[in-house]
Amino acid sequence: MSRALDAKPETTNARADYYGRIDKFHMAPLWEVLHKLLSHEPVTQASPHVWHYDKLRGHLLESADQISAAEAERRVLVLENPTMRGESRITEALYAGLQLIMPGEIAPAHRHSPSALRFIVEGTGAYTAINGEKAYMERGDLILTPSWVWHDHGHHGDVPVVWLDGLDIPLVRYLGPVFAEPYPAESFPPGHEAGDNIARYGVNMLPFGAQVPSQHSPIFHYRYAETRSALERLARSRDQDACHGVKMEYVSPATGGPVMATISTYMQRLPKGFHGATYQSTAAWVYNVVEGHGKTIVGDTVLTWGPRDVFVVPAWCHHHHKADSDSYLFSFSDLPIQKKLGLYRERRGDA
Amino acid sequence: MSRALDAKPETTNARADYYGRIDKFHMAPLWEVLHKLLSHEPVTQASPHVWHYDKLRGHLLESADQISAAEAERRVLVLENPTMRGESRITEALYAGLQLIMPGEIAPAHRHSPSALRFIVEGTGAYTAINGEKAYMERGDLILTPSWVWHDHGHHGDVPVVWLDGLDIPLVRYLGPVFAEPYPAESFPPGHEAGDNIARYGVNMLPFGAQVPSQHSPIFHYRYAETRSALERLARSRDQDACHGVKMEYVSPATGGPVMATISTYMQRLPKGFHGATYQSTAAWVYNVVEGHGKTIVGDTVLTWGPRDVFVVPAWCHHHHKADSDSYLFSFSDLPIQKKLGLYRERRGDA
Amino acid sequence: MSRALDAKPETTNARADYYGRIDKFHMAPLWEVLHKLLSHEPVTQASPHVWHYDKLRGHLLESADQISAAEAERRVLVLENPTMRGESRITEALYAGLQLIMPGEIAPAHRHSPSALRFIVEGTGAYTAINGEKAYMERGDLILTPSWVWHDHGHHGDVPVVWLDGLDIPLVRYLGPVFAEPYPAESFPPGHEAGDNIARYGVNMLPFGAQVPSQHSPIFHYRYAETRSALERLARSRDQDACHGVKMEYVSPATGGPVMATISTYMQRLPKGFHGATYQSTAAWVYNVVEGHGKTIVGDTVLTWGPRDVFVVPAWCHHHHKADSDSYLFSFSDLPIQKKLGLYRERRGDA
Amino acid sequence: MSRALDAKPETTNARADYYGRIDKFHMAPLWEVLHKLLSHEPVTQASPHVWHYDKLRGHLLESADQISAAEAERRVLVLENPTMRGESRITEALYAGLQLIMPGEIAPAHRHSPSALRFIVEGTGAYTAINGEKAYMERGDLILTPSWVWHDHGHHGDVPVVWLDGLDIPLVRYLGPVFAEPYPAESFPPGHEAGDNIARYGVNMLPFGAQVPSQHSPIFHYRYAETRSALERLARSRDQDACHGVKMEYVSPATGGPVMATISTYMQRLPKGFHGATYQSTAAWVYNVVEGHGKTIVGDTVLTWGPRDVFVVPAWCHHHHKADSDSYLFSFSDLPIQKKLGLYRERRGDA
């Protein structure tokens, strides 16, 4: 790099005086900040971090003593990136939180322009309803509540249910177009029978002549049982990727693209002993471990993980995975935002 | 709106204590901030504002005494939104600045992942070169330097030349993927003859069998003479839009879409006496007046404008235009970002 | 309709003489044929027809005595539309045939630019291999061999296996771009394990970062067991279409579009007692009955059908379905050709 | 090629007898025709041919004595490919004809599902009106009347006007979806002022917020003056293509794709002395010479051409161009049909 983009011209007295005079016109000299605005490579504010589920689980369950789901609207502990505290975000563009729902509780119906995913961490018997159609949660399931669809949560079972929420709230708030509204009645009317979305859209068929949404998947429930068996199968029959093992993206059957306009989602399988090659991308990645133990080395930071742990790999960080046992990792990313805006890059190896 | 999304649960002592205990796990209660994260409608941080060119021109020209184009890399006065000072932005996602180049000066070649437009405000004889192909500037011309193309500016004429820069720097920095590099040699080698891009792509034809970029226009010079005569012509032959008069978007001939992945650009004509209907959109709009005098009323704020003035209409603000004379307004917007992410909305009338 | 497009100007002696003189220049008067070239509505050459499987089965099986699969390359009886005999087509653009393979036989590997589908009519134990990956056939399965992929058929079982072939050969021959070649070696090398395509692409996931074909589905085996259970499920939970009952299109998970560039494929369920509303489309439809009995009334023609029967509904014919028992009908169509070329129309009711 | 796809199994007596027995079921043995259906490479029915305008002009003008434009509906001499006489086509999928209109005549308004282009060969003063908006014809202009738009022709000048018609009638008739209707009233009401489509869509801008058709260009008049000057300009500043010289495709500003769903159009410039490399494509090409003299060698056939001549290069024929003087050649092709259906191939050189 030459001096040009890295260095700042000297702030002489004459210049300082000038800056003062133009300030009242709401103008400022670009050359004082250009070196900060245009970096050679991405500079991330976020840090790599792992939330060990065993250590935080007790605190999470305690939230049920502090507040009901109904009073909280959504009883969630936000996972705040350690170097971006107070900003309700886990990476620059993404939000993550752990949501708890207790038997018999209801989290009331609302809708909002930010898109949300829920990845089930523990428990059974709870559901998310989309436009009144219920998706019953099992460990490892992915459930979507895309932008502006009505959704509520409830619980017909008898154990606490916890899931990881992933949203694009930071980005949508930054850009501006946040809309939200509670459902105007007591409860949302029942919709299609549970599982209808999978029967209708999840078998590589689409209704003849129907208009299917193009910005998000018409499926909103991706079951772990099927996801896992597909990955296990592929692990047998195919060479895995040097960086990612066997990594599959959940897609919309209507487009083959990401399940929501702003967030892409993945499940990957690392076999016992896997030692991945280095990878970096301008997207950031939030992981939840479904099965297995291992480490992800992000630059100089070693993130050691086991079942139910959440960890984050910030943008443009060199990282690689090691698996101590056959491992299944769910992840989500802001990759589609960057792809659509022509900004996505990735690099393999330690270039 | 019910209480649910607008109000925050009470912060009891027990809860405050709990928040303290989970804080060290980098966790925070969503219900304390949910009402701020999810607003009923967009809440913009930016304010409507007009920069009157006559008042600031002297200060702008003085910048040439303070620093050379070469030392500054780009000699630009950033137009900072009055309620977002110090952030180098004019709206949430967009940057604007006035750039000055003096006869004989050179602004050296570099490239960066943010996309830039230049709209010529005054003067003649300067040029922008894209990959070595020069576009000579005239008042009202639009010149593009899209993401990651090499570009430099120079000046063969004898009067100061000023243009309005519009970039997506705030968004790209927020998301993360900022890349930049200076051209490694003294000067960029000459490319195609000036005007080549217009001959090749600007006449409703494309080279047979060629790969044309899909994320930005292959044309990088849109001349005002042609833009203006098209609008004048349409003003004769067609009813105008109640909100916008005759408003045309500059498009890429390869896609019919916006000229760059993140920024869309427009020229509109308001006839003398035009009194527009109210309009609001989740996109924000930065205007530069080419010809004419009038007012834009943004909520309670009246922005009075004349030739060369720059004004900004923040997202989701009700606004309408009034023209005292036949007026030509250039504008740019973050609309394509929101469209691609499924977040764009607009509303006509005072709903 | 006025006279203009329906009638032909008189052929006077002077005109006839003139036509003779221009003939040697390979020119002919449009006005003598315009009324035939431009019809008010589509005029189809094809006729509605049903092939009753019970009546033809014996003849089909006899083909095994006449010729081996290897000698025939493909042992198929072409279903020729009764009013287009000798043209190897069942509708204007589509070809259909019944292919027989006997235990132990092999139909050698080749590839061709026309696209093919195989819908299994009877038997078990045979397979189609695509690039060496086998798909084992069961009654009601859909197997694809899209344009230019290597494929061969074989049989590890012990009963005759019959399937319905559907191809776009007539169209491709009409347009011109027919390419074909036999595989140069004795046999095609083994590819992925059977079922790999379904594990990789059939579970609403796609491999991260992989290039997936966009002109045809990466899945080439759609199993009836899953298709049927999805339709049965939807029949419970949803109002059916007045014309089509519950009708689903097989789609490519990479695009949400048709499984091949030129042919779309469907399965529909008509409940016992269904009496459909009238429908017509510019596409033509070839049906194979999987289960059930009923009638399809095409204009004045009544096509009575039961299991394994094949019937054809030509383009733009008014038709409606009646079901005497719960019925499952597979169909394929040239609809995507017409959609892509901007020519498709459909009409519901007896307009 | 092995024997498999090229040869036909022997027709034994037993087989012949069998074929007779299955014939009444409307079934026929594929293996008797497979070698004809699946050729190694495309086999075209069309021949290369040139229509020398000087020789046929007298005959063409005589048509005005034989019939009026009104009586003929369209007074056109169809250019029939010499090896496909009586089929009203110049290549497999395309129709071409020379249309004559005399001063004061009118060719009445109608619309049809086939798409049409008109390329002006001689004369001035005539017009085509699209939905009532007139396009005044000059030598070398391209005028479009896409599928299902109302159009009529008239003549305000005082010399005969001749243009080349290009349509997709053969394909649309083959597929089936031909619709046509005359305008129900005496004359079509006046529409936008002449040139409106160019002002609105032809300057690399599109109306803000408007819906623009996606299957054909919103521009329907491409003027030769602009086309020619762009090509002349490019000939100065850029290396030409070894096969095509400088060849540009007319595109829709709304998509960057072909001007109509089924037909693409081109203008190419060959400099004096050009001796092109060999080229072949699965598309067929119909040329009209605007300026210059030269030869196109198609296999063993030499087509010698000069101004106003029409010549045809059938699909998959090796061909190359030679220019004796600076030449401008218009052409149209069925390439977009084949591209959309995944069937297009091309090859450069004598492979």
Nearest CA in chain D to C344: D177
Contacts of C207 in chain A (CB under 8 A): 247-249
| Residue ranges of chain D with per-residue pLDDT less than 50 | 1-3
| Spatial separation of the C-alpha atoms in residues C247 and C227, rounded to whole Å | 11
Looking at residue A3, its pLDDT comes to 41
Q: Calculate mean pLDDT across residues C244-258.
A: 96
Average pLDDT over all residues of chain A: 95
What's the gap between Cα A209 and its chain centre?
33
Give the pLDDT band (50/70/90) at residue A186: confident
Chain position carrying tokens 């095609």: C188
> How far D237 CA lies from chain C's nearest CA (Å)?
36
Looking at residue A351, its pLDDT comes to 56
pLDDT over 90 (residue A350): no
* Touch test A–B: 3 Cβ pairs or more under 8 Å: yes
pLDDT digits (tens, 9 = 90+) for B213-238: 889 999 999 999 999 999 999 998 76
pLDDT over 60 (residue B249): yes
Residue among C199, C209, C212 minimizing CB distance to A234:
C199
Give the pLDDT band (50/70/90) at residue A236: confident
Q: Calculate mean pLDDT across residues C12-32.
A: 97
* Touch test D–A: 3 Cβ pairs or more under 8 Å: no
pLDDT over 60 (residue A187): yes
**Contact check, Cβ <8 Å, D88/C38:** no
Residue among B195, B204, B234 minimizing CB distance to D222:
B204
Give me Rg for the CA atoms of chain B: 22
| β-sheet bridge partners, residue C291 | C328
C-beta separation of C231 from C266 below 8 A: no
**Contact check, Cβ <8 Å, D207/B236:** no
Q: Which of C134, C193, C203 to probe by mutation at the A interface, max A CB count within 10 Å?
A: C203
Chain A residues whose C-beta sits inside 8 Å of any chain C C-beta: 192-193, 195-196, 199-200, 202-209, 212, 217, 219, 222, 226-227, 229-230, 233-234, 236-238, 241, 244, 247-256, 266-268
Q: Calculate mean pLDDT across residues A285-313.
A: 98
| Spatial separation of the C-alpha atoms in residues D330 and D321, rounded to whole Å | 13
Does the complex come out with an ipTM higher than 0.90?
Answer: yes
Nearest CA in chain D to B225: D203
Q: Are strands D279-281 and D346-348 parallel, antiparallel or unpaired?
A: antiparallel
Q: Which of C13, C23, C31 to probe by mutation at the D interface, max D CB count within 10 Å?
A: C31
**Contact check, Cβ <8 Å, C76/D173:** no
**Contact check, Cβ <8 Å, D30/C88:** yes
**Contact check, Cβ <8 Å, A25/B56:** yes
Give the pLDDT band (50/70/90) at residue C239: confident
| Spatial separation of the C-alpha atoms in residues A253 and A220, rounded to whole Å | 11
**Contact check, Cβ <8 Å, A204/C202:** yes
- Of B184-188, C294-298, D29-33, where does mean pLDDT reach its minimum? B184-188
Rounded to 5 degrees, φ, ψ at C161 are -120, 135
**Contact check, Cβ <8 Å, B236/D195:** no
Report which of D188, D272, D269 is spatially closest to residue D233, judged by C-alpha positions: D269
**Segment D184-188 long-range contacts (CB within 8 Å, at least 24 positions apart):** D184/C2, D187/D106, D187/D108, D187/D109, D187/D152, D188/D109, D188/D129, D188/D131, D188/D132, D188/D150, D188/D152
Give the pLDDT band (50/70/90) at residue A1: very low
Q: What is the DSSP letter of D143?
A: E
Between residues D189 and B5, which one has the greater pLDDT?
D189
**Contact check, Cβ <8 Å, A206/C249:** yes
**Contact check, Cβ <8 Å, A237/C192:** yes
Report which of B307, B301, B311 is spatially closest to residue B332, judged by C-alpha positions: B311
Contacts of B171 in chain A (CB under 8 A): 174-175, 341
Q: Which domains can be identified in chain D, with CATH numbers?
A: 49-203+215-348 (2.60.120.10)
Write down the number of H helices and E strands in chain B. Answer: 9, 24
Give the pLDDT band (50/70/90) at residue B4: low
Rounded to 5 degrees, φ, ψ at A163 are -135, 160
Tokens linked to B221:
């010079």
Report which of D151, D91, D121 is spatially closest to residue D332, judged by C-alpha positions: D91
> How far C342 CA lies from chain D's nearest CA (Å)?
6
Looking at residue C2, its pLDDT comes to 44
Q: Calculate mean pLDDT across residues B165-188.
A: 94
Looking at residue B236, its pLDDT comes to 86
| Spatial separation of the C-alpha atoms in residues B95 and C97, rounded to whole Å | 64
**Contact check, Cβ <8 Å, C253/A250:** no
Contacts of C340 in chain D (CB under 8 A): 261, 340-341
Contacts of C316 in chain D (CB under 8 A): 176-177
SS3 D129: strand
Q: Calculate mean pLDDT across residues B147-152.
A: 97
**Contact check, Cβ <8 Å, A66/B345:** no
Contacts of A59 in chain B (CB under 8 A): 21-22, 25, 27
Give one DSSP letter per residue of D174-214, joined into a string: HHS---EEE-SSSSPPP-SPTTHHHHHHTTSEEETT----S
> How far A212 CA lies from chain C's nearest CA (Å)?
9
Q: Calculate mean pLDDT across residues C111-140.
A: 97
Contacts of B32 in chain A (CB under 8 A): none
Give me Rg for the CA atoms of chain C: 22
Predicted TM-score (pTM) of this structure: 0.95
pLDDT over 60 (residue B66): yes
Burial tier of A190 (Cβ tally within 10 Å: 0-12, 13-18, 19+): exposed
Give the pLDDT band (50/70/90) at residue A7: confident
Q: Calculate mean pLDDT across residues A39-47.
A: 95
